[in-house]
Each structure stands twice: as C-alpha cells, then as structure tokens.
Amino acid sequence: MASQTEENYLKSLFNLANEAGEVNISELAQQMQVSMPTVNSMVKTLQKNGWLIYEKYKPVILTQEGKKEAALVIRKHRLTEMFLVNKMGFGWEEVHEIAEQIEHIHAPKFFERMDEMMGHPTVDPHGSPIPDKLGRIQEVNYLTLSQCKTGQLVVLAALTNSSTEFLEFLNSRELNLGKELKIQSKESYDQSMVVSFKDHASETLSEKVCDRLLVRVIG
Amino acid sequence: MASQTEENYLKSLFNLANEAGEVNISELAQQMQVSMPTVNSMVKTLQKNGWLIYEKYKPVILTQEGKKEAALVIRKHRLTEMFLVNKMGFGWEEVHEIAEQIEHIHAPKFFERMDEMMGHPTVDPHGSPIPDKLGRIQEVNYLTLSQCKTGQLVVLAALTNSSTEFLEFLNSRELNLGKELKIQSKESYDQSMVVSFKDHASETLSEKVCDRLLVRVIG
DNA sequence: GTATATTGTTAGAACTATCTAACAAAATTG
DNA sequence: CAATTTTGTTAGATAGTTCTAACAATATAC
C-alpha cells in the first residue's frame, strides 16, 4: 500500500505526464517542492513498488498500476471536494486543502458512501472528472474560452486552474460552472474578451482568465 | 503541531491517566502496541514539546497543554463518529476505524461544520462526551448496569467498551442508547441479570455485558 | 563542435519512529 | 532483607523521507 508521500508523488506524476506519459525529475521536484536528489531516491522506491519505469538520466513513466493507484487517489480527492461543497456547504474555493488531506484516508466504505449520497457525480466542483472505482477517467475535451469565436454562446464547464485566488476572482464576477456566456467581442491587441450573461451586464475577461475557463459551445 | 504519532500517544495518555493523572511506561507501551524503549524515547519528545512531565523511572503526567491537545483530538474523533452515524448512515460499529484516521485531519472549519450540521452534539454514538472547542470535557457519572438493583427502571446511556464485537452483540439484541430497561432479577451465582424491555420480551445479560452498559436510573 | 548551462546522480547526513539486546532500578515475594 | 520479577533505560540498528555538497551526463548556444 502506498504511503501518503508515495500517493502524493503518484498524483503529481499523473498530472505532469505528457502525451508520451513522460515526466522529468526536475519537473517533479518543482511540483513536489522537494530537491532533485529527494525525487531521485523516491522514484527508485516507486519503481520497486511497480508504479513506474525508471532508467538513469531518462524521464520516468508511470506503469498501468501506477496510473490506477494515482487515479484512485484523485478519485478520493474529487469525491471529497464534491461532498464538501454539495453536502457540507463549503465554497469551491475552500475545499482543496481539506481534500488534500482526506484523500489519504484508507476507508473504501467512507468514499463509497459519499459517492452514493451524491448520486455518483462525474465531475468535482471545478468541473474535473472523477475517476471511477477502477481508476478509469472519462476524458472530456472542452475548449478554453480563448479558443472561441465572437458570437458563440458557451456554457462554463470546467477550469484549467483552481487556485484559491482564481476561484475568488470568479466568485466576485458570479462566474459559476453552468453559467451561459455570449461572446460579444475579442480584442486582438491583448486577447481580452467581452462576454455577456443571460441576465445581467457584460464583463471584460483578460487572456489569462480566458485561458483558464473551459467551455462547451452551445450555439 | 503534534504529528499523527504524537497525537496518538497523547490520546492514549489521556485515556490511561488515573486519578493522580499518572501513566506508566509499560501501560502506554501496551496501549500503543510498541516496545518500552519506543515509548521511552517518545515521552522525551513529548516532554520537549511541553505536553507532559517526565522523570526517569517515574510515571509520566500530562501537562494542561498536553491534556488540551489530547482532548481536541478526541473531540475530532467523536464529532467524526457522530457525523458518520447521523449524517452518513453508518452503524455505530463501523465508525471507529474511520474516525481513527479522520481525527488527524488539520482543518478546523471541517470539524466546526460537522458540529454545526449536527446542532452541537454533546456525546458520540457510544455515549462518550464530546470535548468542547477549548478541550473541556463535561463528565457525567453513570452507573454500570451491574451496580443497579432489581426493580429499577434505567435508560441505556453509554458504554465502557466500544469494540466492534460488543457493538454487534448489542445490535443483535436491539440494545440501543436511549433504550429503557427494567431490572427483573439478578443471579447471585454469576451476577447475570434479567432485564425486560418496554415493548417486548426480556433478555438475560451476563456480568461481562452488564459491566459494559452505563445507565441512568429513572425509576 | 567545444564551452556553458541545465539536468540528474551519488554520497553522506539528519530526523522521526520504530526495533532488539543488554543492563539497571524498583517492586514484589518468600 | 535478599532473591527474583517487573519495569524502565541506554546503546545501537533500521526504514522512510528529506537535505546539501560534489560530481557526472545531457542539452543548448555560440
């Protein structure tokens, strides 16, 4: 069974993996906020446990078991976030830190019960998919708002970043998941966009913000 | 801040403390399921942190800060047990192991929210008192069923032991907290007692069981 | 295509929580 | 009260997770 530390490395590896499924030691060190020698010794441990493939001076690659282990931790994290928001009344900006701890609890019944109580949600409060019990993730490919064209009607579906500051920014503009936005215009100079809401006035959103908003086009 | 291990030692110390507040190294070693040298080195660490007083060859004594730290962990444990039973539908025999892990979560808001959602409960599902936010425990002195006399009417209020096996035994006899029992007779040979329920037939309870049932006399 | 910068590795140390073996103090018992 | 048992301590080792310093390999740049 993976230790808490190992679970955290697996999660980071899973999130950092590129198309080839490769992760560099330095990337991982930065993500985990530890030194490279620490990562070096930890990847050797993770390899012994069969969770990844490591060869000197090569990027590491998660094995199928490693991916599954990681996805199951992510499942616990996202179920917890959803439970905190839907059943305990927390805001989407408050749940990450708590879920970061609860994801390491070893109690299948606890997470299954959460799942049942919520009617088997497929996404977390930030729109990220919740892996199933076998660690399978249903990938959905949204567009970033930046990629959309003037005149399109879109629904805010997920985020590419869920930092507290960004979530608080979205709260201040009442930008919730499910919100419908119409793209009024795009400024070619700085890529900022003007969007209007169904009910009230329009907003100008910077490129940085538009890159972080994932949407479904509905018209 | 106490590590998970330190929190577990503090909890055990709190539970083992006698009237004088003293705990022997060997007792603690047995309770924690570790060797005496391990306890010896840990009590030195706990002393450095100001949670107990230790002198060579003397029993250890928790300080006020140590007691508070312990009580706050116990608070998190008991709030969690109550939440699992009242809000998540678990049986009282299923919650100990899960709470044993969740008690180490550092997220005041999480436990405060549980507390609010349940309307500030004063006892856990096994009748044990929940310490308040300052670590104060409201002690209630119940009698064991063994101490009661024939003819008395009592309410089952708490347990002196909450092992899964005992809780499952109580489930099988529908002996829940709040149940009213009338003491029909006590067998002087083996101290077993015959009790009757308000609604249905009577039961014979062994001395072992009677010692573990805490009651309030109501008539 | 060598020089430099970046990335990765090894060696050795520290800290936490644990152990066993050996020894010492305190408590119990005849 | 001396002998024995129980309890507690010290020393030294191990495993996990981290570090810094020094060095080595790979990648980048002129």
Nearest CA of chain B to the CA of A4: how many Å?
A: 12
Closest residue (Cα, C1') to D18:
A38
User: pLDDT tens digit string along A109-138?
Assistant: 999 999 999 999 999 999 999 999 999 999
Using alpha carbons, select from B210, B209, B218, B219 the residue that is nearest to residue B144: B210
pLDDT range class, residue A61, cuts 50, 70, 90 = very high
Q: What is the pLDDT of residue A141?
A: 87
Percent of chain A clearing pLDDT 90 (strictly above): 92
Q: What is the pLDDT of residue A198?
A: 82
Instruction: Give yes or no for a contact between A60 and A53, defined as CB atoms under 8 angstroms apart.
Output: yes
The nearest alpha carbon in chain B to A80 belongs to: B110
* Residue–nucleotide distance: A41 CA to C14 C1' (Å): 16
When CB atoms are compared, the residue of B101, B106, B113 closest to A107 is: B101
Interface of A with B (CB under 8 A): 84, 87-90, 94, 97-98, 101-102, 105-107, 109-110, 113-114, 117
Mean pLDDT of B24-50: 97
Mean pLDDT of A176-180: 95
Q: Which residues contact A127 (CB under 8 A, 6 or more apart)?
A: A142, A157, A158, A159, A177, A214
Rounded to 5 degrees, φ, ψ at B192 are -75, 155
Q: What is the pLDDT of residue B19?
A: 86
For residue B29, give both structure tokens.
Answer: 């070693």
**Substitution target from B86, B94, B104, B110 for chain A, most A beta carbons within 10 A:** B110
Instruction: Give the residue carrying structure tokens 């110390």.
Output: B13
B199 pLDDT exceeds 80? Answer: no
A199 pLDDT exceeds 80? Answer: no
| Lowest mean pLDDT segment, chosen from A76-85, A100-109, A178-187 | A178-187
pLDDT range class, residue A88, cuts 50, 70, 90 = very high
Give the bases of strand C that a protein CB approaches within 7 Å: 7-12, 16-22, 25-26
Nucleotide nearest to B44 (CA to C1'): D9
Q: What is the pLDDT of residue A139?
A: 86
Helix crossing, A108-117 with A64-86: angle to 10°? Answer: 50
Mean pLDDT of A149-165: 95
B72 pLDDT exceeds 90? Answer: yes
Tabulate helix, strand, coil % of chain B (nearest 5): 40, 20, 40
B210 pLDDT exceeds 90? Answer: yes
Mean pLDDT of A182-188: 92
Instruction: Give yes or no for a contact between B98 and B80, defined as CB atoms under 8 angstroms apart.
Output: yes
In the A/B pair of chains, how many CB contacts fall below 8 A?
38
Mean pLDDT of B50-73: 97
A200 pLDDT exceeds 80? Answer: no
Q: What is the pLDDT of residue B182?
A: 94
pLDDT range class, residue A37, cuts 50, 70, 90 = very high
Q: In chain B, what residues touch A106 (CB-CB under 8 Å)?
A: 101
Q: In chain A, what residues touch B117 (CB-CB under 8 Å)?
A: 88
B139 pLDDT exceeds 90? Answer: no
Nearest CA of chain A to the CA of B88: how many Å?
A: 7
When CB atoms are compared, the residue of B94, B101, B117 closest to A105 is: B101
Residue type, A44: K
As a whole number, the mean pLDDT across chain A is: 96
Nearest CA of chain A to the CA of B208: how many Å?
A: 31
Please judge whether A98 and B88 are an interchain contact, meaning their C-beta atoms are less than 8 angstroms apart. no
Residues in B 43-102 whose C-beta is less than 7 A from nucleic strand D are: 43, 54, 56-57, 59
The nearest alpha carbon in chain B to A98 belongs to: B107
SS3 category, B125: coil
pLDDT range class, residue B201, cuts 50, 70, 90 = confident
Q: What is the pLDDT of residue A219?
A: 79
User: Which domains, from first to last, does chain B contain?
Assistant: 4-62 (1.10.10.10), 143-217 (2.30.30.90)
B77 pLDDT exceeds 90? Answer: yes
For residue B148, give both structure tokens.
Answer: 């009661």
Nearest CA of chain A to the CA of B32: how many Å?
A: 20
User: pLDDT tens digit string along B147-198?
Assistant: 999 999 999 999 999 999 999 999 999 999 999 999 999 998 999 999 998 8
Q: How far apart are CA B129 and CA B1, in angstroms?
A: 24
The nearest alpha carbon in chain A to B96 belongs to: A107
Instruction: Give yes or no for a contact between A125 and A85, defined as CB atoms under 8 angstroms apart.
Output: yes
The nearest alpha carbon in chain B to A110 belongs to: B98
Residue A3 contacts strand D, CB under 7 A: yes
Percent of chain B clearing pLDDT 90 (strictly above): 93
User: pLDDT tens digit string along B4-14?
Assistant: 999 999 999 99
Q: What is the pLDDT of residue A195?
A: 95
